[in-house]
Structure 1
Amino acid sequence: MTMPVAFSTLDVRTADGNADSHLARPDDGGPHPGVLFYMDAYGLRPYLREMMEAIAANGFTVLAPNVFYRSGRAPVLPMPESTDPVGHAKFFAALGPMRAAFTPDKALADAQTYLDWLSAAEFVAPGPVAVTGYCMGGRLALRTAGAFGNRIAAAASFHGGRLAVDDQPDSPHHAAAGITAELWIAHASQDDSMPPEQIARLDKALDAAHVRYTSVVYPNTRHGFTMRDTPVFDQAAYDRHLADLLALLRRAQQAR
């Protein structure tokens, strides 16, 4: 049985300013295990609230920061129509400078701030938290797990891209040795940003580091398959993702 959810907006103070953020939690006044939710490149928007509330209704306190806060408050750019692929291509072209400004070092500095916020929040139970991320957020989730070790109980990446690029020092597979969390990594079957050779390279790095992980390809899906407000949304894959994510979070909760 799911729980009623309370939703709010807030600012998380970082070294570089205020990260406007969304918070969803069970509306019972008590503390629950924390989840850091990394958005996709489209940013904080009503649909992500829906996703956060689905997680929170199952007993978790979910924080989703606007990782592009240095470039403006969400929505940093207006969301294109879901059925307009040309509009989505133009969106990503305009987003380029904002993504470039969000450097790997800044990403990890922000991650520490978000983890500290969760540790201090009255609605978050003591102990390590979980991280879930989508598209570029999947990459951030794995990098956070690698950088913060036992502060992370579980980490999930859904249709994350460029997770195992040898010539990129910040590629998540280079940080596998620092991961103590259980991982769930769900790939799209059609994804130029995460081709089979990268999946194999990531699995090899995780095996060498003795990481507990599941690496799975959801069939007949494209990059971004969980996102209802984009042209690549797949309902069956979204439902599977939510079931797989909640199972991971519950395993982490039982291990606390």
Structure 2
Amino acid sequence: MAQPAIDSHEVRYTSPEGTTLVGHLALPKETNGTVPGIIVCPEWWGLTPYPKQRAEELAAQGYAALAIDVYGDGKVTDQASQANEWMSDLLANQDLLMQRAKAGLDFLAAQAEVDASRMAAIGFCFGGKIALDMAREGYDLKGVVSFHGNLSPKLPAKAGQVKAELLIEHGAEDSMVSMQSLEQFRQEMDAAQVRYHVDVYPGAKHGFTNPVADDRARLNGIDLGFNAQAAEQSGQAMLAFFKRIFK
């Protein structure tokens, strides 16, 4: 069966402090009324083809999706040292990071095709942290999905503040986000009475959803790895999650 037709293109929007952000907007061509909106928060590499592809896959499922830019000017790299520098700059100013993420959320919510009362966020690695911190900040999200995400909070979740339900897709062999980090995350969410679910994939490393993870690992000497089975299963878990929360 052919995938539904989509429209996708580059968009420019501005963060509150004046930085031009370059996103990738993907929309289903045919909709009956408005559809839920999902922002896609990229890995530390920036807005590479991978988050754009994930946005387009969501559009093919009938959602409006925006792969966001948090570095400005759509900057990308395949060098871990450069990615780490850009990420570290934002981790040193997490209020700015949240402002830039929210600028993407607001831009998507304002699109004519989007039902602004049904919004969600997904994220990969660094983007997983961004999406989870948006939930912790109390942004108006129905759900958040983190794939091999950094689980450490900007500020721990507070009871009554998190509106989103959370889905955590984690690799058992992730050497960058330990099982201890996952346990601390569970304790944080339990204390704040947040609705969440965790899936742990045996044998899956950091970056397990991204087909170029092995190439990036070789290029940079870091412990990443694509896992086709975990990628497929986590993608299906995400779609089932969205089907349920957007009823």
1:237 aligns with 2:230: yes
- Aligned residue in 1 for 2:5: 4
Alpha-carbon shift at residue 176 of structure 1 (Å): 4.7
Structure 2 counterpart of 1:125? 115
The number of residues matched between the two structures is 231
Letter in 1 for 2:29: D
Report the aligned-residue RMSD. 1.8
Match of 1:110 in 2: 100
Question: Partner amino acid for 1:184?
Answer: L
Q: Letter of the aligned partner of 2:84 in structure 1?
A: G
Q: Does 1:175 align with 2:157?
A: yes
State the shift of 1:125 in Å.
1.5
- Structure 1 residue 106 displacement after superposition: 0.7
Task: Quote the Cα distance in structure 1 between the aligned partners of 2:132 and 2:96.
Answer: 15
* Distance in structure 2 (CA, Å) of the matches to 1:46 and 1:192: 25
Aligned residue number for residue 62 of structure 1: 65
Match of 2:208 among 208, 222, 225: 225
Tell me which residue corresponds to 1:28.
30
Provide the rounded CA distance (Å) in 1 between the counterparts of 2:115 and 2:83.
Answer: 36
Hey, what does 2:217 align to over in structure 1?
Answer: none
Q: Which amino acid aligns with 1:242?
A: G
For 1:97 and 1:193, locate their aligned partners in 2 and report how far apart those are by CA, in whole Å.
17
Which residue does the alignment assign to 1:184? Answer: 167
| Of 94, 98, 102, the match for 2:86 | 98
Change in Cα spacing, 1:47 to 1:104, as seen in structure 2 (3 Å) is same
- Normalising by structure 2, we get a TM-score of 0.87
Which letter does structure 2 place at the counterpart of 1:53?
A: E
TM-aligned CA distance change 1:201 to 1:38, over 3 Å: same
Deviation string, structure 1 residues 82-110 (Cα, Å, up to 9, x no partner): xxxxxxxxx11122332222221111111
Looking at structure 2, the residues matched to 192 and 129 of structure 1 have their Cα atoms a distance apart, in angstroms, of: 31
Shift of 1:186: 1.1
For structure 2, the 5+ residue unaligned runs are 215-224
Aligned-partner Cα distance in 2 for 1:95–1:113: 21
Higher normalized helix content (fraction of residues) = 1
**TM-score for the superposition, normalised by structure 1:** 0.84
Q: Which amino acid aligns with 2:227?
A: D
SS at match of 1:42: coil
Percent identity of paired positions between Structure 1 and Structure 2? 29
Structure 1: 5+ residue runs without aligned partners?
A: 80-90
